Structure 1
Amino acid sequence: MAVHAHHHHEHEGAALTDAAQATLERAGEQWTTMRASVFEALAGFAKPASAYDIAEAVSKREGRRVAANTVYRILDLFVGANLARRVESANAYVANAHPDCLHDCIFLVCDSCGQTTHLDDDRLTKGVRSAASAAGFSPVRPVIEVRGTCAECEGG
Structure 2
Amino acid sequence: MAAHAHHDHHEPQGADLTKAARATLEKSGEQWTQMRANVFAALVGFTKPASAYDIAEAMSKSEGRRVAANSIYRILDVFVASNLARKVESSNAYVANAHPDCLHDCIFLVCDSCGQTVHLDDDTVTRGVRSAAQAVGFAPIRPVIEVRGKCADCA
Normalised TM-score (structure 2): 0.94
Matches within 5 A, 1:118-137: 118-137=119-138
Distance verdict in 2 for CA 1:113–1:70, change over 3 Å: same
Paired AA for residue 138 in structure 2: F
Runs of 4+ displaced beyond 6 Å: none
Partner of 2:2: 3
The Cα shift of 1:143 comes to 0.1
Q: Unaligned 5+ residue runs, structure 2?
A: 5-9
Q: Is 1:48 the counterpart of 2:45 in the alignment?
A: no
Partner of 2:39: 38
Partner of 1:19: 20
SS of the aligned residue for 1:40 comes to helix
The Cα shift of 1:13 comes to 1.4
Q: Report percent identity of matched pairs.
A: 76
The Cα shift of 1:3 comes to 3.3
Aligned residues: 150
Partner of 1:117: 118
Paired AA for residue 49 in structure 1: A
Q: Unaligned 5+ residue runs, structure 1?
A: none
The Cα shift of 1:4 comes to 3.9
Contact 2:87 2:94 in 1 (8 A): yes
The Cα shift of 1:113 comes to 0.2
Cα RMSD after superposing both structures: 1.2
CA distance in structure 2 between the aligned counterparts of 1:80 and 1:10, rounded to whole angstroms: 21
Partner of 1:104: 105
Between the two structures, name the one with larger relative contact order (CA 8 Å, sep ≥ 6). Answer: 2
Normalised TM-score (structure 1): 0.93
